[in-house]
Amino acid sequence: MKSWCALTFLWLAHFCHGALSCPALCTCYYRRAEVVCNEVPLTEYPSKGLPTNTTMLTIQFTNITSISEQHLSATPLLQALQLYSNHLQDLSPDLLRGIPHLHTLDLTENKLSDLPAGVFSHAPLLNLVLKNNLIENADAEWLHGNSSITWVDLSGNRLTKVTAALFQKLPHLDNLDLSNNRLEKISANSLDPLTKLERLNLQNNKLITLDASLLQSTRNLTYLFLSRNKLNKLPQGLFQELAQLKHLSLDDNQLSHIPAGLLDPLHSLDEEGLDLTANPWLCDSKVEYLWRWLQKNKKKVFLPETITCASPQSLVGRSIMSLTESELNLQS
């Protein structure tokens, strides 16, 4: 009996010691199985001492430059991994193979550029954040077919294009952020696989126009951000299928006119849900559609009085809504 009790005590002591271990320079929250290594002088991944039951791991503001499958295998129950603002330069193709429960991977603000094929294909990811890296090509080969991912953030990279092949592997995507890149064009029909998309952020790119069919399959879209591009014209039927859209930002572009009927399908816009400010509107007879639409939908527009004429000279600075039919040379 004494021998059995002694063995039990030793086993419990060993178990508790292992469960309560914690890497140097990190903080472990045992009850919620979380480890945080924040703003510490780490140069290597802290595999040693990580509790094996860890489900949430944050390593941020360190000098770590690489991470491998072997490092992550120390925490096989991991569900969320945040590696924000380190110095990661490359990733192993089998990086996620040993963590089959991972649903969130955040690699924001590292130095990643070329990523290997299959790098995100070994875990049931739902959220993938690659914000503020050095990525020039978003490769479809990163993923296996029919990925479960619902949120992709590729903002703040060096993308000049995105391929339809990537979106074909993301049929469950509902949130896509491509803002703050160098996109000059998005191919017609490239977004067709994204039938569940609800939020699309394309702001602060170099888009000049958009194909009329681009948004024809994204009928669940509720938020569309197109601010700070170089859009100088929009096709008439661009928003034809967006009856669910609540917010549309077109501010800070190069729009002088919009085609008649463009905004008519947007029945679900929130109050102040449309932003048209900071465009060089030409206040001639072609602005009639926008003028009439603004009169009827003032509450849906953000700061409607600041949507002003950039020309002709006689109307510069005038609010479009304040114009009269005679000033626009319209026939009653």
Provide the residue range defining the domain that includes 46.
1-134
Tokens 């009439």 sit at which residue? 292
How much is the pLDDT for 169?
95
- The predicted pLDDT at position 19 comes to 53
Residue 300 is classified by DSSP as G
d(CA 118, CA 169) in angstroms, rounded, equals 12
Where are any strands of DSSP class E within 39-180? 56-60, 66-67, 80-82, 90-91, 104-106, 127-129, 151-153, 175-177
Low-confidence residues of the chain: pLDDT under 70: 1-19, 331-332
Asked if 23 and 50 count as a contact pair (C-beta separation under 8 A), the reply is: yes
Residue 14 sits in a domain of what CATH number? 3.80.10.10
Residues 238 and 265 in one domain: yes
Contact 204, 178 (CB under 8 A): no
Whole-model pTM: value is: 0.91
Torsion from C-alpha of 222, 223, 226, 232, nearest 10 degrees:
30
- Do 155 and 109 have their domain in common? no
pLDDT of residue 146: 81
Residues 128, 154 within the same domain = no
Domain shared by 166 and 279, yes or no = yes
Check whether residue 217 and residue 82 sit in a common domain: no
Residues 166 and 286 in one domain: yes
- Same domain for 250 and 315? yes
Say if residue 178 is in the same domain as residue 120. Answer: no
Do 151 and 106 sit in the same domain of this protein?
no
**Where among 107, 134, 161 does a domain terminate?**
134
Of 134, 163, 188, the residue that ends a domain is 134
pLDDT at 327: 83
Which distant-in-sequence residues (6+ apart) come within 8 Å of 33 by Cβ?
51, 53, 54, 55, 56, 77
Same domain membership, residue 174 and residue 125: no
